[in-house]
């Protein structure tokens, strides 16, 4: 695996800020509707670029997570009941921003009997009612392996269901101690088994200490789980209290993994240091649908 010294962030990880007018507009809209975004919550390095393009990934079910993943900047604390008006405010924001592709994710809510699945379903339905031509992507937690909870989301018919494996199985105990690698793979397989016509998506990070010999088997596992869309990006620690950065991975290595994923049959792959799960989600989806679906039917 090709590494870069850790002393200074390499040039390829520097981002440009564009169109501050749109950035301010999105910020104001999100604040006025009392919404959360993963862009802020996860301290995403692309949030300024995405906001400048008038896009955002909405985070439902509050801003407090029931888990303690070592890579994530989402806070832990007191968990509040779901806000029943939130799905409609998300839909209002999607409509106001005229989004072609809306991404909805959440904190993990192990305290809820369905893990928040019904709240996802209500948000999907609200977006479809107000913006029927918008492509709807949801990035879901593992619902503690509940098939019933997953079916609630699938029955609401989003276009894409995403669940990230985040890292190789060996690192789960240190990076995702409350998650289970095989459980995540099972969830991904079930998306294709029970969600007719729904695309599945997953992603993981590099730079956490994974070995080159572990990455391709991870990609093989995702292919075996029938994942349609794969994202691979560079891990960047949100703070010194999070999992340490092991290495900056060179773009050439990302290209190699992306090429391998494409060669074994994963339909759409985005692999580069600045890729995040929802970054340029519409472009990644178009890459898939150009080969397999008439895009003019997606909003029906």
185-208 pLDDT, tens digit per residue, is: 999 999 999 999 999 999 999 999
In 3D space, the residue among 72, 146, 78 whose CA is nearest the CA of residue 105 turns out to be 72
Mean predicted confidence (pLDDT) in 65-74: 73
Sign of CA dihedral 68, 74, 78, 84: negative
pLDDT at 145 over 60: yes
Q: What is the pLDDT of residue 172?
A: 95
Can you give the C-alpha Rg of the chain in angstroms?
18
Q: What is the pLDDT of residue 299?
A: 44
Mean predicted confidence (pLDDT) in 150-164: 97
4-53 pLDDT, tens digit per residue, is: 555 578 877 766 655 556 556 666 777 777 776 655 544 455 555 555 55
pLDDT: which is higher, 242 or 51 = 242
Q: What share of the chain is helix, strand, coil (3-state, %, to 5)?
A: 40, 15, 40
| Distances in whole angstroms, Cα of residue 292 to Cα of each of 3, 138, 172, 183, 285 | 36, 20, 34, 28, 11
Q: What percent of the chain has pLDDT over 90?
A: 58
- Tokens standing for residue 111: 């305290």
pLDDT at 161 over 90: yes
Q: What is the pLDDT of residue 27?
A: 66
- Homologous superfamily of 19-297 in CATH? Aldolase class I (3.20.20.70)
**Which are the contacts of 165, defined by CB distance < 8 A and separation ≥ 6?**
181, 184, 185, 188, 202, 203, 204, 218, 221, 222
Instruction: Judge contact between 249 and 234, C-beta under 8 A.
Output: yes
Q: What is the pLDDT of residue 98?
A: 85
Q: What is the pLDDT of residue 294?
A: 47
How much is the pTM? Answer: 0.85
- Tokens standing for residue 200: 């599945």
Mean predicted confidence (pLDDT) in 158-165: 96
> Would you call 73 helix, strand, or coil by DSSP?
coil
Instruction: Judge contact between 278 and 103, C-beta under 8 A.
Output: yes
Q: Where does 77-198 show beta strands of DSSP type E? A: 101-106, 135-139, 160-162
> Would you call 229 helix, strand, or coil by DSSP?
strand
Where are the chain's structural domains? 19-297
């Amino acid at each position: 695996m090709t590494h870069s010294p850790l002393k200074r962030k390499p040039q390829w990880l520097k981002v440009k800020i564009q169109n501050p007018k749109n950035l301010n507009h999105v910020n104001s809209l999100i604040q006025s509707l009392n919404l959360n975004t993963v862009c802020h919550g996860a301290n995403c390095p692309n949030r300024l670029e995405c906001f400048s393009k008038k896009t955002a990934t909405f985070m439902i079910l509050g801003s407090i997570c029931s888990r303690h993943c070592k890579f994530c900047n989402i806070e832990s604390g007191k968990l509040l009941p779901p806000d029943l008006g939130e799905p409609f405010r998300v839909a209002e924001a999607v409509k106001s921003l005229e989004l072609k592709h809306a991404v909805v994710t959440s904190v993990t809510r192990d305290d809820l009997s369905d893990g928040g699945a019904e709240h996802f379903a209500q948000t999907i339905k609200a977006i479809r009612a107000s913006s029927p031509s918008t492509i709807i992507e949801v990035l879901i937690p593992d619902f503690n392996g509940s098939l019933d909870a997953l079916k609630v989301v699938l029955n609401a018919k989003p276009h894409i269901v995403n669940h990230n494996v985040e890292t190789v199985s060996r690192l789960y105990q240190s990076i995702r101690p409350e998650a289970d690698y095989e459980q995540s793979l099972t969830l991904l397989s079930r998306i294709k088994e029970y969600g007719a016509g729904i695309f599945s998506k997953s992603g993981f990070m590099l730079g956490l200490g994974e070995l080159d010999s572990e990455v391709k088997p991870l990609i093989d596992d995702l292919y075996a789980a029938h994942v349609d869309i794969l994202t691979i990006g560079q891990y960047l620690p949100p703070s010194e209290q999070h999992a340490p950065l092991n290495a900056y991975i060179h773009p050439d290595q990302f290209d190699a993994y992306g090429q391998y994923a494409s060669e074994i049959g994963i339909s759409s792959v985005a692999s580069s240091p600045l890729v995040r799960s929802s970054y340029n989600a519409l472009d990644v989806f178009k890459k898939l649908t150009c080969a397999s679906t008439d895009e003019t039917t997606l909003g029906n």
